Structure 1
Amino acid sequence: MSRPVPLTPGPGQESVWDYPRPPAVEPTGELVEVVLGGEVVASTRSALRLLETSHPPTYYLPRDAFAHGSLVPVEGHTRCEWKGQASYFDVVRGGRRAARAAWHYPDPVPAYAVLLGHVAVMPGLVDECRVDGERVRPQEGGFYGGWVTDRVVGPFKGIPGSWGW
């Protein structure tokens, strides 16, 4: 599949095709929440948005924004070409366990040191993620952890045929 035609953003929107590569990280004061088992697992106004070409933002929340005991380390790692080696957590709350639904970079590469102490959540694996009260839609494809809101327009990597974008 060839590179898609970016949608034109409307007022107050961003095109993910204007995001940089390698990705940028920016702080946000938006209220970012994660819900599992009908309970709020995490809530913060001190999240970071990771912005990468063709991807909806991935939100990284400070680890202390998560309820005590809700992040359970699990085996296995993946490697990001930009950020380094990721380690995973099961997220536990409200009698539910979302397997490998969260990840972090315990030793990020120097360019992404700001991610140290922050945890990202895969929105499709928990009950709900919200940004300023808006329910997040998971990035398609099941591999990437982007948070789709009305603030961003695509098309987004992850849809069938987008692997080579």
Structure 2
Amino acid sequence: MSGTGVEAKFGLGSWIGVDVEFEQDPWIAVDLEFGPGSWTGVEAEFGMGSWTGAEAEFGMGSWTGVEAEFGIGSWTLVEAEFGMGSWTLVDAEFGLGFWNGAEVEFGVGSWVGIEAEFGQGFCVAVASEVGLGFWPGVGVGDETAVIAGAGVVV
């Protein structure tokens, strides 16, 4: 079992960051967070099998983020989050089998988002959210999601 983890945080002002990683077999995790102003982030990752994850977060103003990722089997995840103003994000992803996921979120103004992804078997998930102004999960702006594959997707 081998594990590789890289965490980088850059901030101006108040900053609180917590990163927890557990691994079995090969694991690569890269987490980048950039933010001027107040920032609170909690990230937890759990994996069995091969896992590759890259996360980038950029924020100006007040930011609260909670991310949880669980994977069994082969897993690839790319997530990018950009926000200006007040931002609250909760993201949970669970996968069994082969999983590819890409998520991009952009926000200007007040933002509240909750995203949950569950996959069994082969699963490819792409979600994109773009918002200007106040965003209550699904609200003003454009939200697209594409789920394709075999097996069970809830």
| Interval containing the TM-score (normalised by the shorter chain) | under 0.3
TM-score (norm: length of structure 2): 0.22
TM-score (norm: length of structure 1): 0.21
Structure with the higher strand share, 1 or 2: 2
Tell which has more relative contact order, 1 or 2 (C-alpha 8 A, sep 6+): 1
Structure with the higher helix share, 1 or 2: 1
